[in-house]
């Protein structure tokens, strides 16, 4: 968690530096207020936004409810609320600012997997909630988005003549406009990938059955490859497997570790 805090701090610092390069202390102050506003909105409302985005409705399924209750008890956290997403493609995500205000959303297609696979997916999402990953990943995604937005303002300020005019600052601004969004994306990837590995491990330890999760990851990945869902790529980090269309370029900047690596680590757990 310490490393994650450093990465989040770096994201905030990049945002402040861009603000300073665009408009000095005033720009840095504006960037600071943007960062604060993003953090507040993300903390209180991000779960509501994403559930509404995917038309999630409360899930009334006694079997799944019982499974989640058992896993939550094992993880020593309150039982999350359950939601259903109208999609035949199997997938799931967790959301909420803390274990006391958390939810798990599953697609209707997930319910057609084997029992062990469903339990593996749910345990992974419980792992995210237990490790408080949702808020961390949401903050990383929103701050990275703000950096891209502020960098775009800097880009236009250079052409509109409103930026700081000395050559040193103009050069620095050009570099920040180009490299800051890329650095933010790489940091966001590092945070997301590390939390995915940890959630896999936590979920496998909760069920004591890494095989169920590894089988689910393999099946969901294969189906998602041929049947990507429609939605915002900004939410890709939330899903257990990236459900959106991918090509070689987007694969380079994926918020998820390679499925083969995740399965390999789960296999190592099974062997121990």
Catalytic residue ranges: 125
Contact 151, 176 (CB under 8 A): yes
CA dihedral over 254, 260, 261, 266, signed as positive or negative = positive
CA dihedral over 15, 17, 21, 27, signed as positive or negative = positive
Q: Report the alpha-carbon distance of residue 210 to residue 21 in Å, rounded.
A: 49
Tokens of 164: 């700081």
Rg, the chain, Cα only:
20
Contact 243, 224 (CB under 8 A): yes
């Amino acid at each position: 968690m310490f490393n994650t805090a450093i990465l989040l701090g770096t994201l905030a610092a990049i945002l402040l530096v861009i603000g300073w390069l665009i408009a000095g202390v005033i720009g840095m102050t504006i960037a600071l207020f943007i960062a604060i506003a993003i953090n507040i909105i993300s903390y209180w409302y991000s779960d509501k936004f994403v559930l509404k985005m995917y038309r999630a409705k409360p899930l009334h399924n006694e079997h799944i409810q019982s499974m989640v209750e058992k896993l939550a008890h094992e993880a020593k956290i309150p039982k999350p609320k359950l939601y259903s997403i109208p999609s035949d493609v199997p997938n799931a995500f967790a959301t909420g600012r803390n274990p006391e205000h958390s939810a798990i959303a599953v697609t209707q297609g997930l319910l057609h997997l084997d029992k062990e696979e469903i339990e593996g997916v749910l345990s992974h999402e419980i792992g995210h909630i237990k490790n408080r990953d949702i808020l961390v990943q949401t903050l990383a995604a929103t701050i990275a988005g703000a950096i891209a937005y502020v960098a775009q303002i800097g880009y236009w300020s250079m052409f509109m003549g409103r930026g700081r005019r000395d050559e040193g600052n103009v050069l620095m601004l050009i570099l920040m406009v180009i490299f800051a969004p890329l650095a933010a994306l790489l940091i966001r990837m590092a945070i997301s990938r590390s939390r995915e590995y940890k959630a896999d491990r936590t979920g496998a330890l909760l069920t004591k059955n890494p095989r169920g999760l590894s089988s689910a990851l393999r099946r969901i990945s294969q189906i998602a490859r041929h049947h990507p869902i429609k939605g915002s790529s900004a939410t890709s980090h939330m899903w257990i497997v990236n459900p959106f269309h991918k090509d070689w370029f987007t694969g380079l900047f994926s918020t998820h570790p390679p499925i083969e690596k995740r399965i390999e680590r789960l296999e190592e757990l099974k062997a121990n």
